[in-house]
Structure 1
Amino acid sequence: MSIIAPPQNPLAYERQLREAVHQHHAIILAHNYQPAWIKRVADITGDSLYLSQQARDTDATTIVFCGVRFMAETAKLLSPHKRVVLPADDAECSLADSITAADLLAWRAQHPEAIVVAYVNTSAAVKALSDVCCTSSNAPEVVSSIPAEREILFLPDQFLGAHVQRVTGHPNMHIWMGECHVHADISPDRLRAKMNEYPSASLMVHPECGCTTSTLYELADSAQDRVRFLSTNQMIAEARKTTQDHVLVATEVGILSDLRAANPRVHFEAVNPRAECPYMNRITPERLLESLTSTRDEISLDETVVGQARRAVERMVDPSLRIWTRP
């Protein structure tokens, strides 16, 4: 799927949008993978953890979440009395879809005393059956908070799970074999070809990527000044301070506009230039504007699911709530 074209008259569109945002006491949140024209009109951009916190803390009564469904659901979990809208019917996520509530129930039955750590890239129904959520940036911290003798069911991303297990050394992790089809296609072969082509370039890798192999870890261990495993927000922070001239980026290509804006001097290059998430590109200019006034795009969740899933999300953003006792 090609990227949705930006508005033909950006100034007029942005004026209309800002007027509607003000009128409806709204805020526009945009994930770093969103196309540049959406991030330009957003009030706040960031990764999943940051946007989850902003959704919780804002005093706006309407949250327009430009991302995919699980992100808007997470905002609704933290702000159940606010109106949360996702300006696209079909902004799903292949990773979130790789595990269902029924899958998790069956898995938990096999490990009844395990603690379930759910990557935030999951549906509200899956979060409701989990003990704690995590993001790519705080997953090692969350897993490290769990005693070594406790079993962990980590879901759904196999590459992030393997990365976290390596970083933390937790001895009792079971990892679900899910993946983001976009990140999985950033493969070891693609990475190897790019690094052979540019042997002096540094590398920023999102831990969801399929290229997170033992070879890459060995490279990271031997060349710590050149290789970083980072979340999207961490990539932007790294971009601002890097002294490198050429940086290879292993993640969804929507972030390149943020990296280039953060440090125009550096040449940021995608490891896989076709790593474009079709679900992150579902929002049209017309739909974004319409979402402020229409009920069509409003996120609605079952009250029981909200109560159960909110506990797991709150444990993600507040470490003091991670008190682990046996069931």
Structure 2
Amino acid sequence: MDKNFLIQEITRLKQEKKAVILAHYYQDENIQEIADFIGDSLELAKKAQNTNADIIVFAGVHFMAETAKILNPNKKVLLPDWEAGCSLADGCDPKDFSEFKTQYPDHVVVTYINCSAEIKAMSDLVCTSANAKKIIESIPDEHKIIFAPDENLGNYLQKETKRELVLWKGSCVVHEAFSLDKLIELYNKNPTAKIAAHPESESHILKAAHFIGSTSGIINFIKTDPAAVYIVATEAGILHELSKAVPNKTLIPAPSTEDNSCACSECAFMKMNTLEKLYLCLKNESPEMLVTEELRIEALKPIEKMLQLS
């Protein structure tokens, strides 16, 4: 379908149906351009909670749309592609996690937002990479903690908070794809550059970074830091909005181990959403995210605690 036609129709349907489009920074740039709001997981969760729209179109992945529905039971939540999943969420099966939890009965359970509603329902607190340190530090020292499902973020938090965490072994395929050898080679060619990395990356990448932070944290760092060149170790979709904010700075995506077309790390799940799928999902009001009320109430508790602490 013609891009201009799709943009025109999405704009029309959005007004007609009183819909809002929330897009993650990792989305295709055409989707970012038409979105009402672009953000990371925490910003989007807050936006979903505060919207007065009747329909939320979540251009992101499955767990994000599910979180929006948990926060908005009376609104229709749509996801352009139902198959847009997440390696972290998919790698933490509720049955397995329930068994894992029983091994540590006296532990507070903190889960990263990149997990299913079933996992959130088994948690005491939910966090995002933007507030994970704050969430861990809110728990009294005498309490032991389980952290799931991201082992890399968990390792980073142990170093940052000096707390011992029981970690679930899960990882993000995007952030585990960065090549340290290629990164060092790239840095040697750009010795004035600063490396900004997401804490979902492996520890050897984080050791090489000048700044470690969430998607929004990286954006704010690059906007306010005086350097002229940055190597960015997170999903390459972040560069679209960021390049508009800092037109005079050079942004280089950190290289991945794969020899792909952009030589960067892209999330195949995030890129499953397209302008055409966005149009069709608004037109047909499908696929729609539904969560049973019983599960929603349980999953809402740790999310609300997180939002209060944030």
| Pairwise TM-score range, normalised by the shorter structure | over 0.9
- Partner residue of 2:304? 314
Q: Secondary structure at the match of 2:276?
A: helix
Q: Percent identity?
A: 38
How far off its partner does 1:296 sit?
A: 2.8
Q: Secondary structure at the match of 1:28?
A: strand
- Partner residue of 1:174? 166
Give per-residue Cα distances to partners, 1:249-283, cap 9 Å, x unaligned: 00011111122111011110011233011100111
Correspondence 1:133-144 to 2 at 5 A: 133-144=126-137
> Using the alignment, how far apart are the partners of 1:28 and 1:125 within structure 2?
25
Query: One-letter code of the match for 1:31?
Result: H
Q: 2:81 aligns with which of 71, 79, 88?
A: 88
Q: Secondary structure at the match of 1:184?
A: coil
> Using the alignment, how far apart are the partners of 1:239 and 1:274 within structure 2?
18
Query: One-letter code of the match for 2:293?
Result: E
How far off its partner does 1:107 sit?
A: 1.2
Q: 4+ residue stretches of structure 1 with deviation over 6 A? A: none
- What is the RMSD computed on CA atoms of the aligned residues? 1.6
2:201 paired with 1:209:
yes
> Using the alignment, how far apart are the partners of 2:191 and 2:168 within structure 1?
34
Q: 2:253 aligns with which of 266, 270, 273?
A: 270
Contact 2:22 2:57 in 1 (8 A): yes
Correspondence 1:19-34 to 2 at 5 A: 19-34=12-27
How far off its partner does 1:216 sit?
A: 4.3
Task: Name stretches of at least 5 consecutive residues in structure 1 with no aligned partner.
Answer: 1-6, 221-226, 321-327
How far off its partner does 1:245 sit?
A: 1.4
- Partner residue of 1:229? 212
> Using the alignment, how far apart are the partners of 1:287 and 1:195 within structure 2?
38
2:284 paired with 1:294:
yes
Task: Name stretches of at least 5 consecutive residues in structure 2 with no aligned partner.
Answer: 256-262
Contact 1:117 1:153 in 2 (8 A): yes
Query: One-letter code of the match for 1:180?
Result: C
- Partner residue of 1:3? none
> Using the alignment, how far apart are the partners of 2:2 and 2:90 within structure 1?
34
Give per-residue Cα distances to partners, 1:220-268, cap 9 Å, x unaligned: 6xxxxxx111111122222222321110000011111122111011110
Give per-residue Cα distances to partners, 1:180-217, cap 9 Å, x unaligned: 1111111433333332332221111000012x33x844
Contact 2:148 2:168 in 1 (8 A): yes
How far off its partner does 1:60 sit?
A: 0.4
Contact 1:160 1:208 in 2 (8 A): yes
> Using the alignment, how far apart are the partners of 1:291 and 1:182 within structure 2?
26
Query: One-letter code of the match for 1:178?
Result: G
Q: 2:269 aligns with which of 255, 270, 279?
A: 279
Q: TM-score scaled to structure 2, two decimals? A: 0.93
Q: 2:235 aligns with which of 252, 255, 271?
A: 252
How far off its partner does 1:316 sit?
A: 1.3
How far off its partner does 1:42 sit?
A: 0.1
Query: One-letter code of the match for 1:240?
Result: K
How far off its partner does 1:140 sit?
A: 0.2
